């Protein structure tokens, strides 16, 4: 393993490689149609597929708390490598043994989610330490691969080169399990390669020409707080609550975007609803990645708190408009546009919340501190897909897909509440 980094931008390259693999969790909806086919191989219910997804998100989030602590004790390289191996094994085992809900829940949801949790925080923590002068931009770049990765894995599974789900069968395994097996091997390799440059800078490191005190007054250079100290501040709970509200909407849409899209587009007489829903998924993922970078860069200019307020208000309005404005009026184009905007705003969470954690509570312990902040994502990861799955099952017996509006209303109101909470959240002194 590399012990010293000569150019800090190598860290960004490694971060993107790791996150490309980890972003596979956002490709879950491409598998749900096959998994829930009532005459297919698996015959899962929508609630069961939602539970697998939720388990992955929740395990991911709560293992991050442990990963943040481990980085203080062990080299970040080791934590990233451990996460990559565990993540890959989860998919490989699901490929070989994942013919039932229980086995997929364990291997994809628990093992895979734990692997993501271990590896995910490493590029963020290492990146912030190498780029204290560009926290928003670097956290955006570091996690952009997570959003873009979903596009790659969705398209490879569904359409590129005929779609792996349509063309591949290993060892007589069904299509979904064959793809899981292939993906598990690829994911392991990508994370291991990216981990090579996950090295912290020297303790006395400062970027050339930059001094901490010279940072714009729009940005807070905080005291250094440990996780225990952070958890005693009201600012933590304001940030944590806002993250729950904001993440809820995006996670719900990730789970249901294909299922909801097919129902809604068919109802409005749109041909090729399945293909268009898949296209919307791809654009969602692309804008998810772009949002991480753009919101991160913007926050370096206007401040993290203002950026979060604007982002969550914008997201809330779109969620409330998604069916009756974008779909009812614009049909297929409206659906793709709304999915793209939601993905763009959702992606911003993953640039803004680690950056504001560093702003408010310091760079030194950002790995462990952000692990606690990110537990909000785990709670949203349980609630969002469950809400979507519940209403999907309810929609099966409904003639009008407007029943889907209930979870979108919940998500929209949640985002606006998040903006209100953040408005009253000022940095600790």
Angstrom distance (rounded) from CA 143 to CA 132: 16
For residue range 72-104, what is the model confidence (pLDDT) as tens digits?
Answer: 778 889 999 999 999 999 999 999 998 899 999
What was the pLDDT predicted at 2? 61
Count of CA atoms in the C-beta half-sphere (13 A) of 378: 22
- Asked if pLDDT for residue 210 goes beyond 80, the answer is no
Phi-psi region of 5 (alpha: psi -120 to 50; beta: other; left: phi over 0): beta
Q: Quote the domain boundaries for residue 51.
A: 9-202+224-423
Q: Residue 333 falls within a domain, yes or no? A: yes
User: In this predicted model, which residue has the larger pLDDT, 51 or 264?
Assistant: 51
Angstrom distance (rounded) from CA 121 to CA 142: 10
Q: Residue 253 falls within a domain, yes or no? A: yes
Ranges 49-58, 282-291, 320-329: which has the least confidence: 320-329
pLDDT level of residue 219 (50, 70, 90 thresholds): low
Across 76-85, 137-146, 396-405, which has the greatest mean pLDDT?
Answer: 76-85
Angstrom distance (rounded) from CA 130 to CA 197: 12
For residue 12, give both structure tokens.
């960004």
Q: Residue 380 falls within a domain, yes or no? A: yes
Q: What is the DSSP letter of 325?
A: I
Ranges 45-54, 352-361, 399-408: which has the least confidence: 399-408
Q: Residue 3 falls within a domain, yes or no? A: no
- Asked if pLDDT for residue 264 goes beyond 90, the answer is no
Q: In terms of C-beta density within 10 A (0-12 exposed, 13-18 middle, 19 or more buried), how is residue 291 classed?
A: buried
Judge contact between 372 and 227, C-beta under 8 A: yes
Q: Please report, for the domain that includes residue 384, its CATH number.
A: 1.20.1250.20
CA dihedral 48, 323, 27, 51 (to 10 degrees): -20
Angstrom distance (rounded) from CA 65 to CA 370: 8
Average pLDDT over residues 407-420: 87
Provide the number of structural domains found in the chain: 1
What was the pLDDT predicted at 160? 83
pTM for the structure as a whole: 0.77
Average model confidence (pLDDT) across the chain: 84
Angstrom distance (rounded) from CA 74 to CA 77: 8
Q: Residue 48 falls within a domain, yes or no? A: yes
Q: Residue 243 falls within a domain, yes or no? A: yes
Ranges 179-188, 279-288, 356-365, 417-426: which has the least confidence: 279-288
Q: Residue 134 falls within a domain, yes or no? A: yes
Q: Residue 378 falls within a domain, yes or no? A: yes
What was the pLDDT predicted at 309? 96
Judge contact between 361 and 369, C-beta under 8 A: yes
Angle CA(20)–CA(295)–CA(303) in degrees, nearest 5? 135
What was the pLDDT predicted at 213? 46
Across 8-17, 260-269, 374-383, which has the greatest mean pLDDT?
Answer: 8-17
């Amino acid at each position: 393993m590399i012990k010293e980094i000569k150019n800090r931008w190598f860290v960004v390259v490694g971060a993107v490689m790791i996150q490309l693999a980890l972003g596979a969790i956002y490709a879950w909806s491409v598998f749900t149609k096959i998994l829930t086919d009532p005459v297919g191989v698996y015959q899962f219910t929508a609630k069961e597929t939602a539970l697998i997804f939720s388990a992955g998100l929740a395990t991911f989030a709560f293992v991050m708390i442990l990963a943040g602590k481990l980085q203080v004790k062990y080299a970040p390289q080791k934590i990233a490598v451990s996460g990559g191996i565990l993540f890959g094994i989860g998919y490989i085992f699901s490929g070989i043994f994942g013919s039932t809900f229980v086995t997929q829940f364990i291997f994809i949801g628990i093992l895979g989610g734990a692997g993501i949790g271990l590896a995910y925080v490493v590029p963020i923590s290492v990146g912030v330490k190498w780029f204290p002068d560009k926290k928003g931009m670097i956290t955006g770049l570091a996690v952009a691969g997570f959003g873009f990765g979903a596009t790659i894995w969705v398209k490879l599974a569904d359409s590129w080169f005929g779609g792996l789900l349509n063309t591949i069968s290993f060892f007589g395994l069904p299509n979904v399990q064959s793809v899981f097996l292939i993906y598990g091997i690829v994911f392991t390799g990508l994370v291991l390669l990216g981990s090579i440059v996950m090295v912290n800078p020297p303790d006395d490191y400062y970027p050339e020409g930059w001094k901490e005190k010279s940072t714009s007054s729009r940005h807070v250079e905080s005291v250094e707080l440990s996780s225990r100290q952070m958890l005693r501040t009201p600012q933590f709970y304001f940030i944590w609550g806002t993250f729950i509200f904001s993440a809820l909407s995006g996670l719900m849409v990730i789970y249901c975007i294909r299922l909801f899209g097919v129902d809604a587009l068919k109802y409005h007489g749109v041909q090729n609803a399945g293909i268009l829903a898949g296209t919307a998924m791809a654009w969602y993922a692309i804008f998810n990645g772009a949002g991480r970078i753009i919101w991160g860069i913007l926050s370096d200019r206007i401040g993290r708190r203002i950026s979060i307020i604007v982002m969550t208000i914008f997201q809330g309005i779109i969620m409330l408009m998604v069916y009756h404005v974008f779909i009812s009026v614009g049909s297929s184009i409206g659906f793709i546009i709304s999915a793209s905007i939601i993905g763009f705003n959702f992606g911003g969470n993953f640039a803004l919340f680690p950056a504001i954690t560093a702003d408010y509570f310091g760079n030194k312990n950002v790995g462990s501190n952000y692990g606690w902040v990110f537990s909000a994502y785990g709670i949203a990861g349980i609630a969002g897909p469950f809400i979507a799955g519940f209403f999907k099952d309810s929609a099966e017996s409904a003639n009008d897909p407007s029943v889907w509006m209930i979870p979108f209303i919940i998500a929209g109101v949640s985002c606006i509440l998040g903006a209100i909470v953040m408005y009253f959240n000022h940095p600790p002194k």
